[in-house]
Structure 1
Amino acid sequence: MKKSIIIALLLFGVFVQAQDKKWTLLECVNYALENNISIQQSELDVDLAGIDKNQAVFNFLPNLNSNASFNINTGANINPATNQFENSTFRSANGGVSSGINIFSGLSNWKTLQRAKINQIASEYRLDKMKDDISLFVANSFLQILANREQLKVLRAQNEVTKENLKNTQDLVDAGVLPQGDLLELKATDATQAQQIIAAENALFISKFGLAQTLQLKDYQNFDISDEDYGLVPATILERSASEIAEKAKEEINDVKIAKANYELAEKDLELARTDYFPTLSGFIGYNTRWASSQINPFTGEDIPFVEQLYLFDGTSVGLQLNVPIFNRFNVRNNVKRSKVQVERLKYQLEQAELDLESTVYQAYNDAKNSKKTYEAALQTEEARRLAFEYAKERYDVGLSNAFDFNQSRTAYENAQSDVVRTKYDYIFRLKILEFYFGLPITDLN
């Protein structure tokens, strides 16, 4: 009984701990990298590329094969042991082993190995790009949750102020200081804010739900992120020039690496296509033996035993085989032409990838600088709206303004607060993108 109680308490403790789990950005990113289905599929592609590279190495080895056959012949047939026609029923068997090796084929095996190595590197680049994309998506989703959560706090704080004003206004209306219309105006504002809070709660849940799905978590209802209040990340990345960040991005971002690897693969495919112009030389060695049931020793008149036949009728073969391409309906030439076209196409794609990356970095740099200015302007606007709201509140409290003007001032202040939240997290994400292009981790928000 005591054991059952202890186990139940332990399970309950684990359950409560799971319910209270608050995910940090680093935990979210690491979990996504370990469990995301797209990443797992890319890892399988890397494994296949490794298998292809190993096979390219094994292609340098000679092959080894064996063969065997057993036959029952009736009527007039050639006895495989004597090579004579026999009009009788007899059994026969053949067996052998052979090995062959590629001596020269235009260095195709070597070039195939080089291509397999490049393809393995390219698959690793694609895996890294998938991880980068997932990390950026998780970071954006995480910041969206933070923004939605902070926006909800702002709305709730605003509604608390409204309820306090509503209480004060009710007292003033009861005392005959303010008209009933002011009270109704505040009640309408309170109802509107309640709707906004519901919408903000829904937006917060949807953003949490989306991140939980990305992490492949099943318990959407209880998923939550850390309660830590994040401030602005350092903007030291903006101290660097856009050209410096762009040059660094060419070394760090996998889009250009993938395009370069694809171009190198096309060059190897061209080299492989040209190997078909060369003659091929291969060597072979084989051993064969045979047996027949009706094999008679001409000296004794007795059947030759099975094992003795194997020694009597065995043989070996050693040789070289040379194949020289003379005319193949221009297949090789056209394959080479196709490969040349593909090389040119991927060369342009590489150049375009570098141009696109440079353009993207410059755009991200300008976005980060502009988002900083927008955030700073939003802070100034919020401060000005706060002072205007406090002034309007003072006038309203002494009866020098009506509820409509007071609500207009408050609405402007509330919108300014919302803009601060929105521009703050937009600025943070723009900075993180710029740091990502410079090769810095995106998991640090402190």
Structure 2
Amino acid sequence: MIKKYILLTLFSSTIALSQTSDNILTLQDAVEMAIEKNISIKQSELNLLNSEISKSDAIGNFLPRVSASANHQWNIGRGINITTNVIEDITTSFSSMSAGVGLDVYNGFRNVYQLHRANLEILSSQFQLDDMKDDIKLLVANSYLQIMFNSEILKVQKSQLEITKLEFERTKDLIESGTFSPRQIFEIEANLASQEQSVVQAENNFRNAKLSLAQLLLIDDFESFDIAYEDFSVPFSDILTKTPKEILEKSLTFRNDIKLAETNISIAEKDIQISKSQLQPTVSSFYQWNTRISYLDNTPSFEDQFDLNKGQGYGLALNIPIFQGKQIRNNVERSKVNLDRLQNQYEQEKLNLENSINQAYNDLKGAIKLYEASNKTLESLKNAFEDASDRFLLGSVSSFDFIQSKQRYESSVSENIRAKFDYIFKLKVLEFYFGLPLSIPQSN
């Protein structure tokens, strides 16, 4: 009877924690919610928006500069009437208006370089945003699997508690029938108390796992949501048929942190070109128009003065930088130093990625071996426990030996679950480096 109950409670893949919440999140739901609500991602999105505004500035540098002004003035006393050029002792008033247009003709291609830089800055901001999203995806996947892991552990602990209660009642019956000594009940009672404590600890771990995911998703009440406890199998993957070098080569083609480092190098190269352009002569064109009106007696009408007094001018302006206290040349040198620094950072990013892939590869191989060994241990201890259960019912083993066998088996069940989830997460990490999407493997 005990053995049948064990098989039903510990190995049924259909048992799951009850889900009382209507807000059930799949892994994809959780990832999307985290990306949507994460404050750091929102900040990065604002950085991207700011980069797009900077591009608008760069485009504006190609457009002409247009300005206009107007002035009205009163003069009291003797003065020259600026319209009649006669010295008079009167109060005069006059107005003037002007407008001008300026356009850069040549400035060492600085405007072109600044536009190129603005486009690269948008790419850099986008790569930074996507890299942050990648980090969030892994964090959410880990927290999501932690909930699933702790739910499995809690499920096992509750099952084992029910088994222990059944053992307790069965032992009392055997004591009453005279098959067991009354002292046998003490071991079972102690085991029952220990099992209840384990359930409390498992419930606490499960709540903490949910709280951790809720914090990532910025959910105030972590009791208001639950995850989709769907049955899933240990996935098959051919990722280990790839060498770490092959995974690295593939990863270098799409990883956002690598693309970010590459783009920052291109930006630094543009900064050098922009700095050097300041050493070049600049040529600008201009056009100016103006007119004036005096408000005296016997003067022409406003319209006539507006037309008669108008003037205009246009031309080209040449500016040649000769010496600025080494400021411009030092800016060029600073830009070169920054380029060297970013090139070193790029090499460091590639080295970090290579180390991470090698570590993830070795971690996965170790997790596979541990999971396979855990399966063997679980099967052996399961058989040993079933044998101990049969002999315990016959009275051929003491309650102490029976409980020892049961505890070893219970421990192997928990370790097997831990090994399974550890293997799944490390597999998903390595697949993520290879460009495969994060997903929970579903059972057939």
Structure-1-length-normalised TM-score: 0.90
Report what 1:431 is aligned to.
427
Report the identity percentage: 42
CA deviations over 1:229-260 (Å, ceiling 9, x no partner): 11112222122221111111111211111111
Of the candidates 151, 154, 171, which is equivalent to residue 152 of structure 1?
A: 154
Report what 1:373 is aligned to.
369
Q: Is the 8 A contact 2:21 2:226 kept in 1?
A: no
Letter in 1 for 2:353: L
Of the candidates 410, 414, 419, which is equivalent to residue 418 of structure 1?
A: 414
CA deviations over 1:373-425 (Å, ceiling 9, x no partner): 11111111111121222233333333333222222222211111111111111
Distance in 2 of aligned mates of 1:180 and 1:324? 107
Alignment CA distance shift 1:58-1:257 (3 Å): same
- The reply on whether 1:340 has 2:336 as its aligned counterpart is yes
Alignment CA distance shift 1:399-1:18 (3 Å): closer
What is the count of residue pairs matched by the alignment? Answer: 424
Bigger mean CA deviation after superposition, 258-267 or 69-78: 69-78
Q: What is the 5 A alignment of 1:62-81?
A: 62-77=64-79, 79-81=81-83
Bigger mean CA deviation after superposition, 326-335 or 404-413: 404-413
Q: What is the 5 A alignment of 1:222-241?
A: 222-241=224-243
* Counterpart secondary structure, 1:266: helix
Q: Is the 8 A contact 1:22 1:227 kept in 2?
A: no
Shift of 1:83: 5.9
* Counterpart secondary structure, 2:230: coil
Distance in 2 of aligned mates of 1:82 and 1:331? 51
Of the candidates 235, 243, 246, which is equivalent to residue 245 of structure 2?
A: 243
Report what 1:40 is aligned to.
42
Distance in 2 of aligned mates of 1:77 and 1:60? 45
CA RMSD of aligned residues (A): 1.9
Q: What is the 5 A alignment of 1:399-418?
A: 399-418=395-414
- Runs of 4+ displaced beyond 6 Å: none
| Unpaired segments ≥5 residues, structure 1 | 1-16, 297-301
Structure-2-length-normalised TM-score: 0.91
Bigger mean CA deviation after superposition, 346-355 or 234-243: 234-243
Q: What is the 5 A alignment of 1:100-111?
A: 100-111=102-113
* Counterpart secondary structure, 1:363: helix
* Counterpart secondary structure, 2:404: helix
| Unpaired segments ≥5 residues, structure 2 | 1-18
Letter in 2 for 1:47: L
Report what 1:31 is aligned to.
33
* Counterpart secondary structure, 2:253: helix
* Counterpart secondary structure, 2:222: coil
Distance in 2 of aligned mates of 1:291 and 1:240? 85
Distance in 1 of aligned mates of 2:80 and 2:208? 83
* Counterpart secondary structure, 1:177: coil
Report what 2:394 is aligned to.
398
Letter in 1 for 2:199: I
Shift of 1:76: 4.7
Of the candidates 187, 190, 201, which is equivalent to residue 188 of structure 1?
A: 190
Shift of 1:216: 3.3
CA deviations over 1:9-43 (Å, ceiling 9, x no partner): xxxxxxxx994332211222223333333323322
Distance in 2 of aligned mates of 1:178 and 1:317? 118
CA deviations over 1:78-114 (Å, ceiling 9, x no partner): 5443566654322221111110000111110000001
